[in-house]
Structure 1
């Protein structure tokens, strides 16, 4: 997939194209359904399927206090889009200049001039241009001017409900990683770097990889989770805790720690990715180290068994 981050970088003679426009935060099953419709129609008409999106939610610029936290970083989003059959993604910086484009300017400069668009796929609630003034009917009028057809997208439903990034955020904030995965079509994932911690885990027999708080992806709510950890391309089972570790009053800050099960790999300084599989329990203040160790031992035994079943299911159901 070709990733384009500036209109000036669109290759000369690019297109003709079929385009869909949206945030695509999370590239969830709803988005994948949209992309399947896009690529199918593009193939039928001999067009290049293209996603047009932006590097941030418009609220990040226009209403920052109301801006939702992103499910994925731009790099993660580009990688997920690259897993589809889309030919190119135009990920523009959302600047004040872009936000001030009138709807017809958006259609002319981006769809017609840059991408030689012949087909546009849009959801019923799509808005574009300055103050969201453009609607489906506006785009259809622009299509008459610039030679493209507008097709209304069908909603993608999971369990009878429309999939949304908002619903996925709600599930993750509540620790409901299974429910979030069902809407994402994959495990919820965060990516960070392993940094030095206070070594308490190592001292009590459960060494942990401490994640830099500046991570990519939406971190689930506080608790203990079963997860897969990826380090240097290898996958390890992991017991992950998110929270302030209430047993130790000296650790007031929220942190993310991953105990890699049945391995002694040194991950310090390396990139680590965590795929959250199952919520295990809430964070608890134990009455001492022996009680904590007993709980951690039980957690690891449960997670080891759970991930063994998960791995066998993954073999049986590779999709």
Structure 2
């Protein structure tokens, strides 16, 4: 999948496409239904399929305190979109200048002149341009005037509820992993590069892989039974996700101990699949108390994996 990072990198060869626009946070089954439409229409027209996303997401610019925790940061979003067989991902830098353009400029300059959109797929609640004045009705008028196709996406329902990133966050916050999996179309996971840490886990007898999550807020926190997907294979383990209050941690990160693992993961991009919540993150009075709890957490994770393997 080709990545076009920024409007300044749109080239002449990018003219002509079938396009959809959105946040695509989580790339859940509702998104996947839209992407299937996109691929089908692109095939019919013999054109590239293109997804346009914004960084930061609009609410993160206008009201960062109210912006929800992301299910996927940009690198993860790229990964999951690539799995859907999309040809190009256009990442637009979302700033106040971009947000303040007139809706007609968005349509005529970006969609038509620069991208040469032949067919557009968006929700009928899609708004754009200064003060969100552009809407689906305006796109309908433009599609007739300029001769491009337009499709409105229908929301995907599961158990009579619209599949959304919000519902997935709620499911994760309530430890309803099966419900989240049903809406995501896969188990929830976090991805990142393993970094060097303070080596405290090694001193406590539980060497850990430290993964920086690069997020201001997390969709969940606590201690979990996990499965790591690495270049060398899959490993069960136990992970703490949060700020590590016992050791005065300030950065949200993932620290995972993988059972029976012998090797070096430093510098490697790994995926950590969350399987089961063991407990909430908490602060202990001493490192000794923390060590004892880690032993109990590891035992609980091993027991959970053993129980699920026998089912």
Q: Give the TM bin, normalised by the shorter chain.
A: 0.7 to 0.9
Q: How many angstroms apart in 2 are the aligned matches of 1:255 and 1:44?
A: 44
After TM superposition, the structure 1 stretch with the greater mean CA deviation from structure 2, 55-64 or 93-102, is: 55-64
Query: 2:262 is matched with which residue?
Result: 264
Q: How many angstroms apart in 2 are the aligned matches of 1:7 and 1:74?
A: 17
Query: 1:30 is matched with which residue?
Result: 30
Q: Report 1:39-118 matches (<5 A).
A: 39-118=39-118
CA gap of 1:104–1:278, structure 2 versus 1, over 3 A, is same
Query: 2:303 is matched with which residue?
Result: 302
Q: How many angstroms apart in 2 are the aligned matches of 1:243 and 1:92?
A: 30
Q: Report 1:186-205 matches (<5 A).
A: 186-190=186-190, 191-197=192-198, 199=200, 201-205=201-205
Q: How many angstroms apart in 2 are the aligned matches of 1:143 and 1:290?
A: 63
CA gap of 1:12–1:2, structure 2 versus 1, over 3 A, is same
Q: How many angstroms apart in 2 are the aligned matches of 1:89 and 1:293?
A: 41
Query: Is 2:147 aligned against 1:147?
Result: yes
Q: How many angstroms apart in 2 are the aligned matches of 1:257 and 1:32?
A: 31
Q: How many angstroms apart in 2 are the aligned matches of 1:240 and 1:289?
A: 14
Structure 2: which 5+ runs fail to align? Answer: none
Q: Describe the superposition over 1:188-229 as per-residue Cα deviations: whole angstroms up to 9, x where unpaired.
A: 222243332352x445543333333x4369745333212112
Q: In the comparison of the two structures, how many residue pairs are matched?
A: 306
After TM superposition, the structure 1 stretch with the greater mean CA deviation from structure 2, 218-227 or 271-280, is: 218-227
Query: Is 2:114 aligned against 1:119?
Result: no
Q: How many angstroms apart in 2 are the aligned matches of 1:71 and 1:296?
A: 25
Q: How many angstroms apart in 2 are the aligned matches of 1:117 and 1:192?
A: 36
Q: How many angstroms apart in 2 are the aligned matches of 1:227 and 1:301?
A: 10
Query: 2:275 is matched with which residue?
Result: 277
SS at match of 1:242: strand
8 Å CA contact 2:17, 2:119 repeated in 1: yes
Q: Describe the superposition over 1:118-166 as per-residue Cα deviations: whole angstroms up to 9, x where unpaired.
A: 2111112111111111111111111123221221112222233211111
Q: How many angstroms apart in 1 are the aligned matches of 2:85 and 2:301?
A: 39
Deviation at residue 168 of structure 1 after TM alignment: 1.7
Structure 1: which 5+ runs fail to align? Answer: 311-319
Q: How many angstroms apart in 2 are the aligned matches of 1:6 and 1:283?
A: 38
After TM superposition, the structure 1 stretch with the greater mean CA deviation from structure 2, 277-286 or 128-137, is: 277-286
Deviation at residue 12 of structure 1 after TM alignment: 1.5
Query: 2:237 is matched with which residue?
Result: 238
Q: How many angstroms apart in 1 are the aligned matches of 2:57 and 2:122?
A: 18
8 Å CA contact 1:261, 1:304 repeated in 2: no
8 Å CA contact 1:18, 1:120 repeated in 2: yes
| TM-score of the aligned structures, taking structure 2 as reference length | 0.85
